[in-house]
Amino acid sequence: MFQRASPRLLAYLALGLSIVIIGSSAIVIAYAQAPADVVVFYRTAIASLLVAAPFWRRVRTGPLKPGKGDVLLAALGGVLFTVNSYFWSRGIQLGGPTIPTLFANTSPLWVSLGALFLLRERLKPAFFGGLLAALAGAVVMLAAGGGLAGGSLQGALYGVFSAVFFGGFFLVSQRARRRLDALAYFWLSTAASALAALALVALSGSPLTGFPALTWLLFLALGLFTQVIGFLSISYTLGYLPASLVSPAQLLQLLVTAGLGRLFLHEALSWQQLAGGALVIAGVWAIIRSQEG
């Protein structure tokens, strides 16, 4: 019994770890003095370099032999991730960390539609009730924070664009993880993501050098913690839990981002925002219960 439950328990622990780490990364991006496409390139390039040796060792010595279709599917996930990360990073630079993170995490809407119509998943009414509650809580947090104006509006729009591609990333990742283990999918998708980000940098003409020492340290932190630990955790989780659960759970990132924004960027948190956060937590819990029932 314990052995059957153990991988699923580890998947939930990995999910929680990814939420904390990725939610924290919004603050790191806000401090990084670099264009959004450059931020995405360094975080994915550093991560792919760090994990390259374990990946190739697994290919040489283990049963892992990714086929052409597996590589292409992982590469698609990487490209979707690059576009998502670019829009999210750009939104943070324009409107601060909280609002773009809020709108980027409306991706459960797109994941739910994809799960219904593309993956043919059957979702219970309790799932949609939880999703609506979580999204309503996110809207309460936004309204309590003063709504949208100026850079916040631009940040919100970029967050919406990010959500669409983030939803696609989750759906592709779930499909790819049926054949690839977490390490294989992570490295293949992250390497493809770095190449896609480099193409964006080449098109935009953004500089890859000349940044202050703090920015290089933040690049390293994003590559090591956000990408390797955070998204490798998501890759592991998607091998055991459906994307229609993992994606809504990422709404909890908003609580992490808002809390750290209060601590480091002096973004005030009102009781209405705290109430909205509680509604987000209740909605995500309802989603998890609907998947487990």
Note down pLDDT in tens along the chain; length 293 residues. Answer: 334 557 888 999 999 999 999 888 888 888 888 999 999 999 999 999 999 999 888 877 766 677 889 899 999 999 999 999 999 899 888 877 767 777 777 777 677 767 667 666 777 787 788 878 877 877 776 676 555 555 567 877 888 899 889 888 988 988 898 888 889 899 999 999 999 999 999 999 999 999 999 999 999 999 999 999 999 999 899 888 887 788 778 877 777 877 776 666 555 556 776 777 778 777 777 776 776 55
Count the domains in the chain: 1
Burial class, 31, CB count within 10 angstroms (exposed 0-12 / middle 13-18 / buried 19+)? middle
Gap between the Cα atoms of 282 and 243, Å rounded = 19
Considering only CA atoms, which of 40, 66, 180, 18 is closest in space to residue 48? Answer: 40
Specify the pLDDT at position 193.
Answer: 97
Evaluate whether 92 touches 218 at the Cβ level (below 8 Å). Answer: no
Specify the pLDDT at position 106.
Answer: 72
Specify the pLDDT at position 198.
Answer: 97
Specify the pLDDT at position 185.
Answer: 92
Evaluate whether 223 touches 50 at the Cβ level (below 8 Å). Answer: yes
The structure tokens 């109430």 sit at 275
Domain that holds residue 128: 2-292
Gap between the Cα atoms of 57 and 79, Å rounded = 25
- Run of H or E including 244: helix 243-249
Evaluate whether 99 touches 214 at the Cβ level (below 8 Å). Answer: no
**pTM of the predicted protein model:** 0.79
Specify the pLDDT at position 230.
Answer: 92
